Chains A and B, each alone.
Chain A
C-alpha cells in the first residue's frame, strides 16, 4: 500500500506540474480565458507541490525506512535521482509559498515572475528524477521527459519572439 501511495502521489505531482506548465502556455495563447486559466494554473501548481511533498514524505518512510534524518539526507544528497527529486521539491515549495497574494505582493511582479520561471527547472529536475528513478515505467518516464522538453522549448520560442518584438518596439515587462 505504501509503495502504491508513493507512486500515485509521485505521478500526481508530475501530472499537476505538467498541467500547470500546459495551462501557462494556454493562458498566453488564449487571452480571453487568461484569468480563469491562470487561476487553474495556480491550483495545479499548488496541487503539484502538495502531491510532491506527500510523495517525498512517503518515500522517506518507505524507502529510507529507519535511517536517521542525518543519514537520510546524506543518502538523498548522494544519489542523483533522489537529489533531483529533492531539488525539484524544494523549488516547488518555494513557488507554492510565493504563490499566495501576500508574498506575491511583497516580492513585486517582476521578481515573482522571474522566480516562477523556476517551475521549468523544477519540471526538468522532476523529469530526470522519473527517468533515472527505479520504479517508473521507462516509456512513461520518457514520454514525460519529452513533454517537459516540448513545453520548455515552447516557452523559449515564445521568449525569443517576444525579444525580437521588443527589439523593434519596446514594451512594458511581461507579467508572467
Chain B
C-alpha cells in the first residue's frame, strides 16, 4: 500500500506542479485517500498482494514523476525558506553563545567597536591575539562595549583569536581577520609637483613625487589630504585634529583641531576647506599657514565632497542629495537639490562639474525598474544652473552586443585643467576620458595598468590617475593621454596570490563591486563606495527601498531587507538577474564578491560618548522590547518576521517579510526603516511606529526616547 501511495502521490504532485511542502502533503493525502477508497471497493484484491513484477513496474512508473518533482527542488527550497537555514543557523549559533562577541571581523589597524554579551558579568576584558587585553565598558543588561584598534596578525591569516575574559573566566572566539592592502584615493598636487594621496583602508598617507613616493602611517582613518605650503595636511576620520607632514620630513604632527568625522578636504592657496560628519555635520575653513580657523558652518546633509571654485566653496551632500555653494565664511550662497547625490565633484572659477546617476527631475518619479544613467553635469559656478548634461554610458551598444567594449560607466573622480577640460576617471571600467568644451571627447583605456580608476588630478602638463582597487597610479601626458610613468603602492595580483590568496579574492570581489554590468549599473552606483546614496531604489519592479550600507555585513546572514539572499555571494544574483550580468567572465564572482563584502568593517560611530546616558538608553531599549529582536551583541537575532506583524499599515502583500537588521552604523544613515518612512531615529520611535508594534515605544517617556536615540547613535 505504501508503494501505491508513493507512486500515486508523486504522480499527483508532478501533475499539479507541486513546489511546496503544503502541496506535497496535499498530493500524498489525496493519494492515500484514493488508495483507501480503492481498498474498500472491488479493487481491493488487486491493490493488496501485488506480485514482485508488478511492484517493480510501479517503481519504474514512479521514476518519471519523481524526477519531475525533484527538478523543482530549488523552487521548493525557495518557497520553504530552506536555502537560508544553514548560513543563518551558523551566524545565529555564534551569537547565541553564552559569551558572544560581534562583529565577527577584525580589520588590522582599523578602529572598531565590538560588543560583547555576557549576562550577569561584572567585568569583561577582551584581548586580540598578540595584544594586551582591553577592559570593556559595561552598558548594563550584560552588554559590554570594546573600542579597539587591533594590530592584527600576519596578512595571510584569515582568522584571529580573541580572548574574552568574563569575571576571570576565559572564553576564546575565532573572528575573521582582514589586513587591507593600500588603496590610493584623493590624489592632490601642488604647483611644485608635490603630490599626496591617502589610503584609509591601510591607514597610510603617501606623498612625494610619483617616482619617489614615501608613506606615513596615520591611525584613525586618513580620509583626505592636501599639499599646502610644502607640507602635507591630512584630515583624519576618527581624530579631531588634522595631521601635518613636512614634505621632506618623516614625522607626522598634530595640526589644528576641527572635530572628528572628516570626509573630504580641498585646498586653494593656503586655505583648506574640510567637510565633516562627526558629532555635527559641518564645513570648516582654515588658513593652513596661519593655523587659524576662518569659518565653521553647519551642513544639513551628509557631506560627500568639497572643492574650491575660485573664492567660493562647493559642497555635495547626500540625505538630502544636494549641491551647495558657499562663501569663504561658510555662508550659503546657493543650493540645488539633486535627484541622486553627486558621486564626484570638480570645480574651477569657470565651472562646476558633478557626476551623478540621475539628474533629470523626471527620474524622481521613476517608480518602474530603476536603472542608473551615469552622466556628467556642468553647472554655472554662480547660480548652479546646469549648462551641459552629458550621459556617459553607451547603453545600447552594451545591451545589443554582449561583450562590446564599455565606455562611460561609474564616473568616480573629476578634475578640471586650466583649459576647462574635464578629466573623468570611470571606476566601473578602466577608462579615463577627457571632455572638452570645444573638442570631441577622448578616452584612454588603462586596462593594461589597472582596473577602476577612482582618482584623478592635474599636475601641469601631466594627468595623474589612481586605482584604489588595484593600488596603482599612472601619469599621462595631458595632451596625448599617453602613459609616461606608473607607480604601485599595493602588491600585484601575482604577489597576493602567492602571499595571501584571500586578499586577492577580496580585490577581485572589490572589482566586481565597482565593475559595470551590461545594464550600466554597478553595486557602487547606489552603494557609493560601499556606503549608501541615501536614496530609495526600485529593484526588479518591487517597492521602493532605501539603499543599505553594505559595510559590516559579515556574520549577519541572511541578507537584503527581506532576507532572501542566504549568503553574501548571492548578492551577485542582483547583478545577474536585475542588471543583465557582467560583460566578461572573471572567475567565481560569487565567491570573490562575498570575500570583499565580508571584509568591510562597520565604521566607528562618531557620536558623542556618555556612558551613563548610553546605559540609560540601553535600559530604555530593553524596556521597550527592542532587544527581543535586536539582541546584543550584533543587535539583531537574524530572524525574519512578517512585515505586517510589525508595521500593520505596510501596503505590500502579506508575504512580505523583514530580515531584522543589525542596529550598527545608524548615524547618518537616514532615511530609516524598510521603506524609509522615518527621516530620523526619533521618528523611528514615534511617528513611524504608530501601531506601537515595532517595540513598545509608547511606554517610553520623552527623556527615555532621547536617551535611546543617543544610545542608538553610538552603535
**Residue A78 is within 8 A (CB to CB) of chain B in the complex:** yes
Q: Provide a sorted-by-A list of 29 A–B residue pairs whose CB atoms are within 8 angstroms.
A: A63-B645, A64-B642, A65-B648, A65-B691, A65-B693, A66-B648, A74-B654, A74-B655, A75-B642, A75-B644, A75-B645, A79-B640, A79-B655, A79-B657, A82-B642, A87-B21, A114-B1, A114-B32, A125-B21, A131-B85, A132-B81, A132-B85, A133-B639, A134-B629, A135-B637, A138-B89, A138-B96, A139-B96, A142-B89
- CB-based contact A75/B640 at 8 Å: no
A78 touches which of B21, B80, B89, B653 (Cβ 8 Å): B653
* Nearest CB of A to B661, in Å: 13
**Residue A116 is within 8 A (CB to CB) of chain B in the complex:** no
A3-B628, A71-B644 given as contacts; is B25 within 8 A of A138 (CB)?
Answer: no
- In angstroms, Cα B434 to Cα A46, docked, is 78
From B32, B85, B654, residue with most partner A Cβ within 10 Å: B654
- In angstroms, Cα B219 to Cα A112, docked, is 73
Closest 5 CB pairs between A and B? A134-B639, A78-B655, A74-B654, A80-B81, A138-B92
A64-B645, A74-B654, A135-B639 given as contacts; is B80 within 8 A of A128 (CB)?
Answer: yes
* Chain B proximity mask over A140-152: 1 for CB below 8 Å, otherwise 0: 0110000000000
- Please give, as numbers and ranges, the residues of chain A lying within 8 Å of B41 by CB-CB distance: none
- In angstroms, Cα B36 to Cα A71, docked, is 36
* Nearest CB of A to B306, in Å: 44
**Residue A54 is within 8 A (CB to CB) of chain B in the complex:** no
- Please give, as numbers and ranges, the residues of chain B lying within 8 Å of A128 by CB-CB distance: 21, 80
**Residue B580 is within 8 A (CB to CB) of chain A in the complex:** no
- In angstroms, Cα B628 to Cα A125, docked, is 25
- Please give, as numbers and ranges, the residues of chain B lying within 8 Å of A139 by CB-CB distance: 93, 96
A81 touches which of B36, B81, B660 (Cβ 8 Å): B81
* Chain B proximity mask over A59-86: 1 for CB below 8 Å, otherwise 0: 0000111110001001101111111100
Chain B, 597-650, CB within 8 A of any chain A CB = 628-629, 637, 639-642, 644-645, 648
**Residue B250 is within 8 A (CB to CB) of chain A in the complex:** no
- CB-based contact B22/A78 at 8 Å: no
Chain B, 669-704, CB within 8 A of any chain A CB = 691, 693
A interface: dominant SS: helix
* Chain B proximity mask over A73-110: 1 for CB below 8 Å, otherwise 0: 01101111111100100000000000000000000000
* Nearest CB of B to A120, in Å: 12
- In angstroms, Cα B21 to Cα A84, docked, is 8
- Please give, as numbers and ranges, the residues of chain B lying within 8 Å of A65 by CB-CB distance: 645, 648, 691, 693
- CB-based contact A80/B80 at 8 Å: yes
**Residue B79 is within 8 A (CB to CB) of chain A in the complex:** yes
A87-B22, A137-B96 given as contacts; is B642 within 8 A of A80 (CB)?
Answer: no
- In angstroms, Cα B653 to Cα A77, docked, is 12
* Nearest CB of A to B648, in Å: 6
- In angstroms, Cα B628 to Cα A64, docked, is 16
- Please give, as numbers and ranges, the residues of chain A lying within 8 Å of B628 by CB-CB distance: 3
**Residue A111 is within 8 A (CB to CB) of chain B in the complex:** yes
- In angstroms, Cα B644 to Cα A138, docked, is 24
From B641, B642, B693, residue with most partner A Cβ within 10 Å: B642
> Could you tell me how many residues of chain A have their Cβ less than 8 Å away from some Cβ of chain B?
33
Chain B residues with CB under 8 Å of chain A are 1, 21-22, 25, 32, 36, 79-81, 85, 89, 92-93, 96, 628-629, 637, 639-642, 644-645, 648, 653-655, 657, 660, 691, 693
B interface: dominant SS: mixed
- Please give, as numbers and ranges, the residues of chain A lying within 8 Å of B642 by CB-CB distance: 63-64, 75, 78-79, 82
- In angstroms, Cα B641 to Cα A75, docked, is 10
- Please give, as numbers and ranges, the residues of chain A lying within 8 Å of B25 by CB-CB distance: 87, 121
* Nearest CB of A to B715, in Å: 21
- In angstroms, Cα B82 to Cα A80, docked, is 9
A65-B645, A142-B89 given as contacts; is B640 within 8 A of A134 (CB)?
Answer: yes
- CB-based contact A131/B89 at 8 Å: yes
* Nearest CB of A to B85, in Å: 6
- Please give, as numbers and ranges, the residues of chain A lying within 8 Å of B21 by CB-CB distance: 83-84, 87, 125, 128
- CB-based contact B93/A138 at 8 Å: yes
From A74, A84, A87, A134, residue with most partner B Cβ within 10 Å: A134
- In angstroms, Cα B645 to Cα A79, docked, is 11
* Nearest CB of B to A3, in Å: 7
- CB-based contact A67/B645 at 8 Å: yes
- In angstroms, Cα B655 to Cα A74, docked, is 8
Apart from A83-B21, A138-B96, list 20 A-B contacts with CB within 8 A.
A64-B645, A65-B648, A66-B648, A66-B691, A74-B653, A79-B655, A81-B81, A83-B22, A84-B21, A84-B80, A87-B21, A111-B36, A114-B32, A114-B36, A121-B25, A125-B21, A134-B629, A138-B89, A138-B93, A142-B93
- Please give, as numbers and ranges, the residues of chain A lying within 8 Å of B655 by CB-CB distance: 74, 78-79
- Please give, as numbers and ranges, the residues of chain B lying within 8 Å of A87 by CB-CB distance: 21-22, 25
Q: Which partner residue on chain A sits nearest B657 by CB separation?
A: A79
Q: Which partner residue on chain A sits nearest B20 by CB separation?
A: A83
- Please give, as numbers and ranges, the residues of chain A lying within 8 Å of B80 by CB-CB distance: 80, 84, 128
Q: Which partner residue on chain A sits nearest B81 by CB separation?
A: A80
- In angstroms, Cα B647 to Cα A65, docked, is 11
A67-B645, A111-B36, A139-B96 given as contacts; is B654 within 8 A of A78 (CB)?
Answer: yes
- In angstroms, Cα B652 to Cα A75, docked, is 12
- Please give, as numbers and ranges, the residues of chain B lying within 8 Å of A137 by CB-CB distance: 96
- In angstroms, Cα B89 to Cα A131, docked, is 8
Q: Which partner residue on chain B sits nearest A128 by CB separation?
A: B80
From B21, B641, B645, B648, residue with most partner A Cβ within 10 Å: B645
- Please give, as numbers and ranges, the residues of chain B lying within 8 Å of A80 by CB-CB distance: 79-81
- Please give, as numbers and ranges, the residues of chain B lying within 8 Å of A79 by CB-CB distance: 640, 642, 655, 657
B648 touches which of A67, A121, A142 (Cβ 8 Å): A67
- Please give, as numbers and ranges, the residues of chain A lying within 8 Å of B693 by CB-CB distance: 65
- Please give, as numbers and ranges, the residues of chain B lying within 8 Å of A64 by CB-CB distance: 642, 645
- In angstroms, Cα B22 to Cα A3, docked, is 27
* Chain B proximity mask over A145-173: 1 for CB below 8 Å, otherwise 0: 00000000000000000000000000000
- In angstroms, Cα B639 to Cα A133, docked, is 7
- Please give, as numbers and ranges, the residues of chain B lying within 8 Å of A63 by CB-CB distance: 642, 645
Q: Which partner residue on chain A sits nearest B660 by CB separation?
A: A134
* Nearest CB of A to B340, in Å: 33
- Please give, as numbers and ranges, the residues of chain A lying within 8 Å of B96 by CB-CB distance: 137-139
- Please give, as numbers and ranges, the residues of chain A lying within 8 Å of B641 by CB-CB distance: 134
- In angstroms, Cα B100 to Cα A139, docked, is 14
* Nearest CB of A to B44, in Å: 12
A75-B654, A82-B642, A139-B93 given as contacts; is B81 within 8 A of A134 (CB)?
Answer: no
- Please give, as numbers and ranges, the residues of chain A lying within 8 Å of B1 by CB-CB distance: 114
- In angstroms, Cα B93 to Cα A64, docked, is 26
Q: Which partner residue on chain A sits nearest B97 by CB separation?
A: A139
* Nearest CB of A to B36, in Å: 6
Q: Which partner residue on chain A sits nearest B655 by CB separation?
A: A78
Q: Which partner residue on chain B sits nearest A70 by CB separation?
A: B654
- Please give, as numbers and ranges, the residues of chain A lying within 8 Å of B660 by CB-CB distance: 134
- Please give, as numbers and ranges, the residues of chain B lying within 8 Å of A67 by CB-CB distance: 644-645, 648
- In angstroms, Cα B32 to Cα A137, docked, is 36
- Please give, as numbers and ranges, the residues of chain A lying within 8 Å of B653 by CB-CB distance: 74, 78
- In angstroms, Cα B642 to Cα A131, docked, is 16
* Nearest CB of B to A118, in Å: 9
From B629, B657, B660, residue with most partner A Cβ within 10 Å: B657
- In angstroms, Cα B21 to Cα A162, docked, is 28
* Chain B proximity mask over A33-64: 1 for CB below 8 Å, otherwise 0: 00000000000000000000000000000011
- In angstroms, Cα B653 to Cα A142, docked, is 31
- In angstroms, Cα B80 to Cα A131, docked, is 12
Q: Which partner residue on chain B sits nearest A73 by CB separation?
A: B654
- Please give, as numbers and ranges, the residues of chain B lying within 8 Å of A81 by CB-CB distance: 81
- In angstroms, Cα B80 to Cα A45, docked, is 26
* Nearest CB of A to B81, in Å: 4
* Nearest CB of B to A176, in Å: 14
